Chains A and B, each alone.
Chain A
C-alpha cells in the first residue's frame, strides 16, 4: 500500500486558473521529487527537494513552482495554467544512498 499520496488524481480546468497539486508522504523520507510525463514520453524531473526549505529545479524546465515547508509535504503550483501544461505529474520520495523512489499515484491535469 502506497505511503505517498497525491491529490487530485484527475483535474480538468480552464486556461488561466491557478492550481496546486498536493503530495504528502508518511515515510519520513527526506528527498522528494516531481516528475512530468507527457503522453507517450518518458518521465522528466521538474523539481526536487533534499529537505525542508530546500528546492531545486530539475532537468526539464517547468513554469510550475514548489515548496517544502514540512518534511512530509511537497506541493506543486501553477499560477496560470495553460493547455501546454496538460500532462501527468508524478510525485516521488526516497531516503538513503540507494535513492529508490516510491511513487504516488499521479495527478493527471488537463487544461482546456
Chain B
C-alpha cells in the first residue's frame, strides 16, 4: 500500500486565521495528485487536480502547490471561515493505474 502522510491530523483555528496543511507521498512514478474536501454528513468533493511539478491552483481563498520531485503538496486556506470546517484529503496517483490512494486527512475546525 502506498504511503501517503498528511499533517497535521487535526487543526483548530479561529475565524480569520490562515492555515496550511501538508501531504507527503512517494515521488517516483508520479502521475497526478487530487485534493478533496469532505464535510460532515456529505460526500468527499474534489478541490484540485494537480499534475505538474510547480503547479499552483487556486479556488477562492483556498490554494495548493505541488512539488513532485520531493513528493509533497501544500494546501493553504486564507482567512478561514466556519464553512471551511471539513476533512481535507489528498490522493496521489502513481503511474497510470487510475487508482487513488488516500492519506488519512487533516480535519480543520474553524471557530467563529
Residues of A at the B interface (CB closer than 8 Å) are 2, 31, 33, 35, 41-45, 48, 50, 58-60, 90, 94, 97-106
Contacts and interface: CB of A to CB of B under 8 A. Distances in A.
Nearest to B100: A101
A100 B46 contact: yes
B34 A59 contact: no
B49 A100 contact: yes
Nearest to A103: B43
B26 interface: no
Contacts of B64: none
B104 A42 contact: yes
- Dominant secondary structure of chain B at its interface with chain A: loop
A43 B43 contact: no
Q: Which 6 pairs from chain A and chain B are nearest by CB?
A: A42-B104, A103-B43, A43-B102, A59-B1, A100-B46, A103-B44
- Dominant secondary structure of chain A at its interface with chain B: loop
A90 to B, nearest CB: 7
B44 to A, nearest CB: 5
Q: How large is the interface on B (under 10, 10 to 19, 20 to 34, 35 or more residues)?
A: 20 to 34
A46 to B, nearest CB: 11
Interface string B78-112: 00000000000101010010111111110000000
A99 B105 contact: no
Contacts of B75: none
Given A60-B1, A99-B32, A90 B99 contact: no
Contacts of A103: 43-45
Q: In this complex, which of A31, A42, A44, A102 has the most chain B Cβ atoms within 10 angstroms of its Cβ? A: A42
9 contacts: A2-B43, A42-B102, A43-B102, A44-B1, A48-B98, A90-B43, A99-B32, A100-B46, A101-B44
A35 B89 CA distance: 14
Contacts of B45: 103
